[in-house]
Chain A
């Protein structure tokens, strides 16, 4: 850190990062590794926005091999780096691109050459072999290719990054809201932060807007505009691994063409529709039918499988000034130094993807260093993540063995995801967690087939034990209605029965009431 220049007060420069998704956490890590002090401010919980509301792929880039070869190459390079840095969050499933009888016949050749140009090791497979390896997919595969796609546990990634930042002395503030960005003489001086009714000022030399779909709102606080298209994407989660690899349609990238195995489930996505509000996470019933109709050519029996739930996330796509007509918006990220528009020390980044979050952070780091006159290089790709504390295991089999070996009478609190009571208790104490949702995101409690039916009240009981003023009734109601919000959208077959069991437990047994006030407006009638 010798190359870090002190600011006027003799301290190391201080960067404030707004947004605790993959991008914000990646930027915080990039900057702290360059010797800059960081404070990250997140309105909700880490990774609770778009970072966790997507299909969970760590992309090889093959999807963009034809449409945007440069971006595809960036994905491939980043996919390698991330899999090396945080292997505990990555599952190397591999990916398949399959061309069905009715798909464009000329696309596969373009695809293969695009992959090679982008440095993606794609290989053509024998379609017969592919159909044998993946018994649930269509029997009408004409050509198939393997690519190094992988899946990533986004909450795990985000928390690993944040923990690394904390260990290196950075500050992460969750459930804090930035109410104003302060400027003095045309440059930022810090931000006004609000938490549970109290407000305070955090001084900083630079402010980074890493709020993704919300970045136009944040930029507007200092009178800046960012041209974003907000594209909502909805996804259905199926109860088991329908495929062993991520399976893509081998055709120009569009909606609903991908099935991704992750953990013990599979995701099918994604729809795309332009929305005005970044908080829109409502899945319309028509989108479910649209997804199922489009999934049928790829997975013919899709309607017979059990779906747990559906969710939606909002992708922030940057609209370039010169936008060729009829061409999809670029996926690659854009960095804006608002100094050019009269606000010194304010930088925004948007676009990109979870796969490329590190290179987004690197670009932002370069802009910030240039701004502060620092020469520190980016070392985020080559610096291992210091693992000071053990990450709770999440592989079910490993967890089961660990539960058995522990010999502790404290059995699984959540049978679906095999979460040990001791892990929940540790988390509540160490991170001072007060909400079921925050525990859910970190330990996957309530993610499994029962969608929190049995574990909800058990975890609530542990929260009640540790926090005397914990309001179990309202937290449980909020937790349950949020689970219902996703699972009622896919309430057919066994999942309809599961929803009734969940109701039998929450309303008929525990005595909660279903309160529509807990649902966002758009989910009510």
Chain B
């Protein structure tokens, strides 16, 4: 059971690394203990939303602003231009998977479930943004008993930002009110024209934009939104909900389906431990059932503390869970103030060289690459940078792995 690469963790960065390695014709095996943090992602690709300076101003041109970050930040340890290349590649590659991102280099302001702005580098074609709401008569659809979008809060915060929104109540296609089940009932909608025609009767005259909770199907969303726009005669947009995020699951599904079609092997519900770690190399992992898997390179995309890739003990020390790699942290978390400790938990993680290779004890690991939230020195929550760092480091890890494996890029 040998493959070129073993990916530990099915985070966005792991899926990206797998996809890129498959493009190079490499064989890939992916182990995941559960679902990745894309399930919490509102849908767009956030690269850098806030300046790291104390005033935390909103960043308008994220790629130009990467130089403001401190030099240990994952964007900064990658060679200049790599982030841009990774993002260009991502937008093009996902375009082929029917994920049409709009990216013009500048941040647009995606609408959060609470009606606040999420500075986003690439938004989905039907993702609600403040730019598209400006000066428009907008309606917001409220589904009965659906808890996962705080509609009244959203409307009141949008009103506070100068966007008057009418709330319009409408029924759901079935009895389900949980995100995933509701999305599936939209997929199974027998008569979309009828459903949206009924909604049209409740809409006030002159509505130019209609906002829906982002649950309009797991697979049929593009078709449904097209029908909605035609029937309602208005631009139809989706606002992300509380997790699990349907747009995040759509992207996960698209990437995983693509990987499966290209012969990646998935082991879900599997946790692996390394074996035969010597001379800075690890070429074998073992799963819970004791089965061994050989690989020339290992990519660790285990998702940091959020997804279990890092663990904190009761004395405030952080540990890396998959391979037991060295972890950077400022000082024990429990020695920090409350506001600092949350940020310190993000910033803790694995430090690497420019090729994303970590250290274990005194040794540098030559065939291990660490990506995404498991890396130290970045903070997706403060920077608004989650997907960007995952894509850049996943892509860069694949590039480095390909070159380690003796191939050209």
Contact = CB atoms under 8 A, between A and B. Distances in A.
- A and B bind: yes
A383 to B, nearest CB: 42
A413 to B, nearest CB: 7
A505 B243 contact: yes
A463 B334 CA distance: 35
B157 A458 contact: no
Interface stretch (B310-318, B360-368, B398-406): B310-318
A169 interface: no
Given A508-B381, A509-B240, A511-B117, A516 B150 contact: no
Contacts of A303: 313-314
A300 to B, nearest CB: 13
B306 A501 contact: yes
Contacts of B56: 513
A516 B114 contact: no
B334 A499 contact: no
Given A458-B147, A497-B308, A525 B116 contact: no
Contacts, number: 164
B114 A491 contact: no
A497 B306 contact: yes
B53 to A, nearest CB: 14
Nearest to B240: A509
A464 to B, nearest CB: 4
A320 interface: no
Contacts of B150: 457-458, 460-461, 464
B153 interface: yes
Interface residues of A, number: 54
B334 A285 contact: yes
B276 interface: no
Interface stretch (B87-95, B280-288, B336-344): B336-344
Contact of A493 (B116, B312, B338, B345): B312
B380 interface: yes
Given A462-B152, A524-B337, A492 B312 contact: yes
A127 interface: no
A512 B305 CA distance: 20
Given A410-B145, A496-B305, A510-B113, A503 B336 contact: no
A172 B231 CA distance: 55
B144 A491 contact: no
Given A470-B156, A500-B306, A519 B338 contact: yes
Contacts of B334: 285, 288-289, 489, 491-492
Interface string B268-299: 00000000000000000000000000000000
A137 B362 CA distance: 42
Given A460-B153, A472-B157, A512 B114 contact: yes
Nearest to A496: B312
Contact of A292 (B42, B114, B314, B381): B314
B40 interface: yes
Contact of B153 (A457, A489, A491, A508): A457
B335 interface: yes
A499 to B, nearest CB: 6
Contacts of B341: 488, 491
B38 to A, nearest CB: 11
Given A410-B145, A499-B345, A476 B315 contact: no
Nearest to B381: A507
Interface in A401-457: 409-411, 413, 421, 454, 457
A22 B56 CA distance: 44
Nearest to B303: A500
A491 B40 contact: no
A508 B339 contact: no
B157 A509 contact: no
Residue in A458, A503, A516 whose Cβ sees the most chain B Cβ within 10 Å? A503
Nearest to B150: A461
Given A409-B144, A499-B345, A516 B339 contact: yes
A464 B153 contact: yes
Nearest to A499: B342
B350 interface: no
A289 to B, nearest CB: 7
Contacts of B114: 457, 460, 472-473, 476, 510-512
Interface string B111-124: 01111111000000
B107 interface: no
B264 to A, nearest CB: 26
A523 B340 CA distance: 10
B305 A497 contact: yes
Given A458-B150, A461-B153, A523-B337, 14 more contacts: A289-B334, A457-B150, A457-B242, A458-B147, A458-B242, A464-B152, A476-B153, A493-B311, A497-B305, A510-B114, A511-B116, A513-B56, A524-B337, A524-B338
- Nearest first, the 9 A-B pairs at minimum CB distance are A461-B150, A511-B116, A511-B112, A409-B145, A507-B381, A465-B152, A500-B306, A496-B312, A461-B153
22 contacts: A285-B316, A292-B314, A457-B150, A458-B147, A472-B114, A472-B115, A481-B339, A488-B342, A491-B334, A491-B341, A492-B312, A496-B345, A500-B305, A505-B40, A505-B242, A507-B381, A508-B40, A509-B243, A513-B56, A514-B339, A514-B343, A524-B338
